[in-house]
Structure 1
């Protein structure tokens, strides 16, 4: 594994004792007039973001918000979001992200569960900023930075308690890993990076990256990877309001973007767009994916279309702030298709027997357990649920994975998604990989249908790639590639596969269609 560790970087980082608001302060000081965010022709520079966030923080405090109070942000990705996010952190309040598309009753329940004292919408931000000074503000480092709610893709959503240190640590873990850097602090207490890695390994210097972002900032992947990491690395982010593959590809070529990031659902949409074969992606040096495993066929197509890019997958969940592993992003590192990388700095991953018999042997399947400084302190107001997943500092993820001899992690499936057929374990992802590689399948997902005689039967929901696709043909093509107990028993053609805002398949909705 040593040859795949980022060259020149230690196994453990020195994390400065600063609040998460120091990310905005450091970026404002270092990157100044460089565009931070661009949306519909309007630009906010890093310096402007820092000053507006300071005004927002003072506005919150003047309006009665006190350090430790919870402030809910209910807004889509927009130029007001980072102002409110970093302003909330600078005020010492706790950021509570709320999906703006949630139904009113669900949003109200989440805000009430979080004990939020204020709910902020995009239109509120200029008013809160108005009339307040924009000078330096000390970023507090105590208490919770985020009270982030899980996606609830397999059950009810729970509030994850993440102190400032967690947010700073996880942001630095990914920023340093992706850029070959070490943490640093400027003279004002702002968080910044020192890029010590070889430019032959990490070819994009700090302060020169350009990306198009669609990952929602109310989600953990958006807040950490799509916001904090981009500020730390001085990246210019172009915001798109919705997924329009043709518009994304046009901007990718026009702006000469240096990296692409998102969930597999984003890349599936781009690959399905006819324009992609005519788009020049030679400027792209890094493609990152998270939220769900990338199908192997997708990786191969992206590699052909962006030959200069390193393709890196990461793995995590809200309970580890955002993530715990990442494929090496340096050019000489080993990139194993199907694996989600190595444990990050100061992070340990082990695979535990599903029978409770302790760790499994290398290469065997089991539940993924994670220990590291980014692991949550617990679920808000849910001590029983916390005790179910935290054991002596280890987080039991509920994911089934494999660690190979080089320390690379592969995610096989969700423990709750695994099917039992006559006592045999059936992993839906294995069948989903076969569906993804099928020329007649645009998208597919597999769930179990309860059967009193055998336990569960695998059923596939499939979006056909063209008219006239026959269920029997797809069924036969997939089933001839697996042993008898893993075979699909039924295919249901659908127009779309339901996914969350973060791109994760909502299997509970598919199971409901089987009732």
Structure 2
């Protein structure tokens, strides 16, 4: 008889299927996922993953194939992702806030041969959004939940794998190595074209293990994952970390402060990470004082500027014993630096911590020379966590990773004498809306699709609740008539909500330099 809460082994599994096998053995009947009255044990989770992996193999998925998942936080998302990785394929998470054209670009760029998506979610039927846009390489669309007539149901897809033997599946999983690609997560750059970032099983698990150690995760933890699974925060620092350490995952699809407070009390949530926006909302909720938050133990926040008072309130009013901040990017498996549990509130709020074990961190000048403490420069990283490259884009990979293996982040920061990092600017103009990276060039490219828009420039502006939001300066085509509300309504229909600017200003022309480059610093100065 296994103990209910076994000790977590020191060794980090080499692959994600090995991690799942190890956790199923260790944690057995302990709850892996609880969602809306459904309880899935670790043993049951492995069984469900194996069944889904057999269906993928039966459908013709071979090692290295890309399989996309486009759905909100659901148990099926986790099962599908683990099945993809167990079958030796590459998981391509797709942002649920994206619209049809954006998703089609990700599918085409990744070369995905299969799409697993949700049916109805937030008033939209996801397969319909891809009507006429699905790339030819996508052989099948499988609806995980809420399928309408005529669609391929998840249950039917699972049944199709019955002829695949356990031996066939075991051989496929055994062929996966630490260096096998596990996922392709899309990011964006100053060109506005999203790029597929490749990372491998071993490097992800090593980073997850180090992060989990800082958070002191144990099988006793009940981890409410608010961060979306398509993001490294909800995937790698979310369900992957939880499953490695025997935690119970509690799934959250749409954030609502009142509902979260109720769940914390009712379901005895102990781990609750998220961007600062979430904690501002919880602290401002009228039901806070009457809610039993005694179960809360650990959190990590970041992604934007954090006032020290917020860290202090998270400790004092929400009851977190561990409050951390960190820094990472998609190109570094989502991990790079972390604060420590005993850091004071000022350090946690003002810095993103210091380099995680096995990762080198430096701040360099324009020639790549390391700068002294206190001098601002570009943040560069080197170590096991650096991506394997951008998919099918060797030029962009070479531009990001130099000959000595340093990943050039494009972010500007300062290291103090302790090695703690403070991020001061973003070389790539990227700004962060409620924890989501937003790239002006990508938003501008989408807005230029509007028939009345001749030119547009988007800048990030401070926002008390979301950290930053977009402000668009628009030059209309000759003779065009367009109102700000009308344009924003069009934006909401054609791009992810977090990309939609919160302000629009119509101007006769955009300020440019001698070479024609838009002077965004002047636009920021114009904003109210």
The TM-score with structure 1 as length reference comes to: 0.72
Is 2:188 the counterpart of 1:176?
A: no
Q: Secondary structure at the match of 1:278?
A: coil
* Alignment CA distance shift 1:283-1:31 (3 Å): same
Name 2:183's counterpart in structure 1. 146
Instruction: Assess if the C-alpha contact under 8 Å between 1:70 and 1:96 holds in 2.
Output: yes
Name 1:347's counterpart in structure 2. 359
Tell me whether 79-88 or 153-162 shows the greater mean CA deviation.
153-162
Following TM superposition, by how much is the alpha carbon of 1:291 offset from its aligned partner in structure 2, in angstroms? 3.2
CA distance in 2, matches of 1:312, 1:336: 6
CA distance in 1, matches of 2:256, 2:327: 26
Is 2:349 the counterpart of 1:337?
A: yes
CA distance in 2, matches of 1:90, 1:328: 33
Name 1:127's counterpart in structure 2. 156
Following TM superposition, by how much is the alpha carbon of 1:334 offset from its aligned partner in structure 2, in angstroms? 9.9
CA distance in 2, matches of 1:271, 1:333: 17
Name 1:163's counterpart in structure 2. 200
CA distance in 1, matches of 2:320, 2:101: 47
Q: Secondary structure at the match of 1:337?
A: helix
Is 2:272 the counterpart of 1:260?
A: yes
Instruction: Assess if the C-alpha contact under 8 Å between 1:221 and 1:291 holds in 2.
Output: no
Alignment of 1:90-489 (within 5 A): 90-121=86-117, 122-123=144-145, 124-130=153-159, 132=162, 137=170, 138-139=173-174, 140-141=176-177, 142-150=179-187, 155-179=192-216, 206-329=218-341, 336-353=348-365, 355-356=366-367, 358-391=369-402, 392-417=404-429, 460=461, 462=463
The TM-score with structure 2 as length reference comes to: 0.70
Instruction: Assess if the C-alpha contact under 8 Å between 1:160 and 1:319 holds in 2.
Output: yes
Following TM superposition, by how much is the alpha carbon of 1:87 offset from its aligned partner in structure 2, in angstroms? 0.5
Following TM superposition, by how much is the alpha carbon of 1:505 offset from its aligned partner in structure 2, in angstroms? 7.0
Following TM superposition, by how much is the alpha carbon of 1:48 offset from its aligned partner in structure 2, in angstroms? 1.1
In the alignment, structure 2 segments of 5+ residues that lack a partner are 1-9, 118-143, 146-152, 441-456, 467-487, 508-528
CA distance in 2, matches of 1:125, 1:505: 29
1:124-150 deviation line (CA, Å, top 9, x unaligned) = 443333253678833511531111101
Is 2:66 the counterpart of 1:74?
A: no
Instruction: Assess if the C-alpha contact under 8 Å between 2:226 and 2:254 holds in 1.
Output: yes
In the alignment, structure 1 segments of 5+ residues that lack a partner are 1-12, 180-203, 419-427, 437-444, 448-455, 466-494
* Alignment CA distance shift 1:461-1:262 (3 Å): closer
Instruction: Assess if the C-alpha contact under 8 Å between 1:52 and 1:129 holds in 2.
Output: no
CA distance in 1, matches of 2:264, 2:225: 11
Name 1:509's counterpart in structure 2. 501
CA distance in 2, matches of 1:127, 1:301: 49
Name 2:521's counterpart in structure 1. none
CA distance in 1, matches of 2:97, 2:497: 16
* Alignment CA distance shift 1:56-1:412 (3 Å): same
* Alignment CA distance shift 1:388-1:235 (3 Å): same
Name 1:5's counterpart in structure 2. none
Following TM superposition, by how much is the alpha carbon of 1:346 offset from its aligned partner in structure 2, in angstroms? 0.3
Q: Secondary structure at the match of 1:416?
A: coil
* Alignment CA distance shift 1:144-1:308 (3 Å): closer
CA distance in 1, matches of 2:69, 2:289: 39
* Alignment CA distance shift 1:119-1:504 (3 Å): closer
Instruction: Assess if the C-alpha contact under 8 Å between 2:400 and 2:408 holds in 1.
Output: yes
Following TM superposition, by how much is the alpha carbon of 1:331 offset from its aligned partner in structure 2, in angstroms? 8.5
Q: Secondary structure at the match of 1:312?
A: strand
Following TM superposition, by how much is the alpha carbon of 1:416 offset from its aligned partner in structure 2, in angstroms? 3.0
CA distance in 2, matches of 1:45, 1:263: 29
1:258-278 deviation line (CA, Å, top 9, x unaligned) = 121011222222222122233
CA distance in 2, matches of 1:511, 1:357: 38
CA distance in 1, matches of 2:460, 2:93: 34
Q: Secondary structure at the match of 1:340?
A: coil
Q: Secondary structure at the match of 1:101?
A: coil
Name 1:87's counterpart in structure 2. 83
CA distance in 2, matches of 1:265, 1:155: 26
CA distance in 2, matches of 1:63, 1:384: 34
Following TM superposition, by how much is the alpha carbon of 1:252 offset from its aligned partner in structure 2, in angstroms? 0.8
Match of 2:60 among 57, 64, 68: 64
Q: Secondary structure at the match of 1:177?
A: helix
CA distance in 1, matches of 2:276, 2:231: 15
Instruction: Assess if the C-alpha contact under 8 Å between 1:296 and 1:337 holds in 2.
Output: yes
Following TM superposition, by how much is the alpha carbon of 1:335 offset from its aligned partner in structure 2, in angstroms? 5.3
CA distance in 2, matches of 1:277, 1:288: 22
CA distance in 2, matches of 1:304, 1:19: 39
1:267-308 deviation line (CA, Å, top 9, x unaligned) = 222222122233232322212114334332321221221345
* Alignment CA distance shift 1:233-1:357 (3 Å): closer
